[in-house]
Structure 1
Amino acid sequence: MACAALPLLSGCSMFNSQKEKPSVAIGSADTLYNNGIDALRTRRYKVAADQFEALQQNYPYSGYTANAQLMEGYAYYLRNKYPEAAQQLDRFIELHPTSPDAAYAFYLLALCYYEQIGAVSRDQQMTAEAMARLQDVIARFPQSKYARDAQLKIDLCRDHLAGKEMLVGRYYQQQRAYQAAIGRYQRVLQDFQTTNHVPEALERLVEVYLDLGLTDEARRTGAVLAYNYPDSRWYRYTYDTLKSYKLLTDKTPAPGKLVTAPKTEAAGTTASPAQSAAHNVGRADAPPSLSSAPVSPVSSSELSSDGGGSALTGNLGHSGVPASARGARTGAP
């Protein structure tokens, strides 16, 4: 009987020890919030996220809860935990759509997608998602201090997407899949005409048209390039290529020579490639009714001055050597 009683006594002892174990004390709502803020200031982002999460779980109706939700999303963002940050910010926006901090929440949510944009050679779904979120910031809070930065980042996203089209177009061109290459280059002209990739797209179209024997299309596309980008290196390449094919005319301007705008153009305006086509300055197969970009383009000083693409694309968007530079054409066929 004594032996039989030992397991019972042992079980009671274990039960009593567990029962007597003190629970972890949870600080007050303001203590948890201030601890989280202090952790953010000292760059202990995981600790900050844990403090804000504990506040929400233990004090769901506290006056600090809304701020804790937003700051937890910010802490995840600083840790590069973008999916977790986006989930937390979505929750804040859903629960507090009229909060004074809603503009910041929408902007930070857009940055969570913007920071995940990959190289031009990879899938650009995240770029498209980032653009949509940034456009949402501008549409909802056009007068906020975040709208201007969102507008700049939209332009960089567009440049990134154009760089992707150029990368694929160059691949098709190298594989002699000319129709597919033309489609990619034309999309740059139609959908991304405010980006730095347009001059190269026009030059590549001239190359493809010449490879296909479409000399009239090549000449017209060269005219569009001359009218819009007379000082660009891409027009110099095109000029040399057309010269080697004996396709230059008396009306073909030399590189660097400014082409006079048609009289129908308002003074001080710069026509897009599509607008040039509408005035019979060249077609490049771009519809004349093409609308402009959804937001105003950034100034040239905010992008690379040498036409090498945005900070996102770097030199990837303009890699490859034109035909005129690689010596592929030495004369007419």
Structure 2
Amino acid sequence: MKRMCQRYALIAGALAVLAAGCGGKKALPQRDAQSYFDEARGELEQKRCLKAAELFQRVVINFPGSVLADDAQFGVGEAKLCAKDYTEAVFEYQRLIDEYPNSPLAAEGRYKIAVCYAEQSGGIYLDQTETRKAIAEYQRFIDDYPDSRQVPEARKEMLKLKSKLAAKDARIAEDYLKWGYPESARIYYQRILDAYGDTPWAEDARLGLAVVKARKGEIDAALTDLRQLLSDGVSATTRKRAQEQIEEIEKKRETSRKDFGPKPGATGRPPGGGVRPGS
């Protein structure tokens, strides 16, 4: 009996020590949405993109009802853009628009989707799928948010991207002319005028179409178009090229007249003034 009491005493003492030890530790403070958000923003400012994305996502997942939820969702997109993970960035910005359509950040999210596609746009010798997507998204942004302060910048970026597509078509047209296929060249020059008429390449396309007409023997029409181009106040470079084309066409036409016209002294009548022998 005495031994059992001693055993209980030892157990009670051990529990008391354990309780005292646990009671001496401070409980970890519960983090709120603001603390995660502030840390995420700091990480993003330091270009620690993946860490920032993780922290922003904690706000979105753990505090869906927070006033910071839409800001955090936008932050996830920004962090993915920072990491140059453009596919994921587009997904996150679109998620912002879908889940928080009334957010003040929805407009910028739409704008950033266009930016993501534009960042993936390659040179004129590469596939231009991303370029076309970027143009479409910039136009969608302008249509959806016409009063946004970013509309002028969107128009500027669109023009740059459309100029890239026009430059690609112009290069293809030039190659077709070089290879002796003026009709194929005409198709690409006309497409520049129809689709990218607001770019600087429109002048080049008009000049190219005039050259195509000259190559096809439509000399008068070609000269008319070139002279019209000169009168329209085009750039100095285009003016010079148009003038050179006019001079070249007129020179060739004069040469052709000399080659196929009557020879000097020829009357077009039989020798002897048209009097036949024996008449």
Do they fold alike, i.e. is TM over 0.5?
Answer: yes
User: Of 69, 77, 95, which residue of structure 1 is paired with 2:99?
Assistant: 95
What do you get for the CA RMSD once the two structures are aligned?
2.4
What is the TM-score of this pair, normalised by structure 2? 0.74
State whether residues 199 and 229 of structure 1, in contact with CA within 8 Å, keep that contact through their aligned partners in structure 2. no
Q: What is the alpha-carbon distance in structure 2 between the residues aligned to residue 187 and residue 30 of structure 1?
A: 53
Preserved contact between residue 30 and residue 64 of structure 1 (Cα < 8 Å) = yes
1:161/1:217 CA distance change after superposition, 3 Å:
same
SS in 2 for 1:131: helix
Q: Cα 1:142–1:231, aligned 2, differ >3 Å: closer, same or farther?
A: closer
Q: Where does residue 162 of structure 2 map in the other structure? A: 158
Compared with structure 1, are the counterparts of its residues 230 and 92 closer, same or farther at alpha carbon in structure 2 (3 Å cutoff)? closer
Q: Name the amino acid aligned to 2:109.
A: A
Are residues 242 and 87 of structure 1, via their aligned partners in 2, closer, same or farther at CA, if it must alter by over 3 Å? same
Which of 79, 82, 89 is matched with 2:86 structurally?
Answer: 82
Task: Pick 1 or 2: higher relative contact order, CA cutoff 8 A, min separation 6.
Answer: 1
AA at the equivalent of 1:100: P
TM-score (norm 1): 0.63
Question: Which of the pair is proportionally richer in helix?
Answer: 2
Q: 167, 174, 194: which is aligned to 1:170?
A: 174
After superposition, where does 1:194-209 map in structure 2 within 5 Å? 194-209=198-213
Count residues with an aligned counterpart.
229
Distance 2:49 2:235 in 1: 49
Distance 1:232 1:189, change over 3 A: farther
Deviation at 1:26, TM superposition (A): 8.6
| Off by >6 Å, runs of 4+ in structure 1 | none
Q: Percent identity?
A: 25
What is the aligned partner in structure 1 of residue 141 from structure 2? Answer: 137
Matched, 1:127 2:131: yes
Q: Distance in 1 between matches of 2:137 and 2:51?
A: 29
- Take 2:187 and 2:146, find their aligned partners in 1: how far apart are those partners? 35
Q: Distance in 2 between matches of 1:184 and 1:206?
A: 13
| Alpha-carbon distance in structure 2 between the residues aligned to 1:64 and 1:230 | 53
1:27 Cα deviation from its structure 2 partner: 4.3
d(CA) in 2 for partners of 1:40 and 1:73? 11
C-alpha contact 2:70 2:103 (8 A) present in aligned 1: no
**112, 120, 125: which one aligns with 1:108:** 112
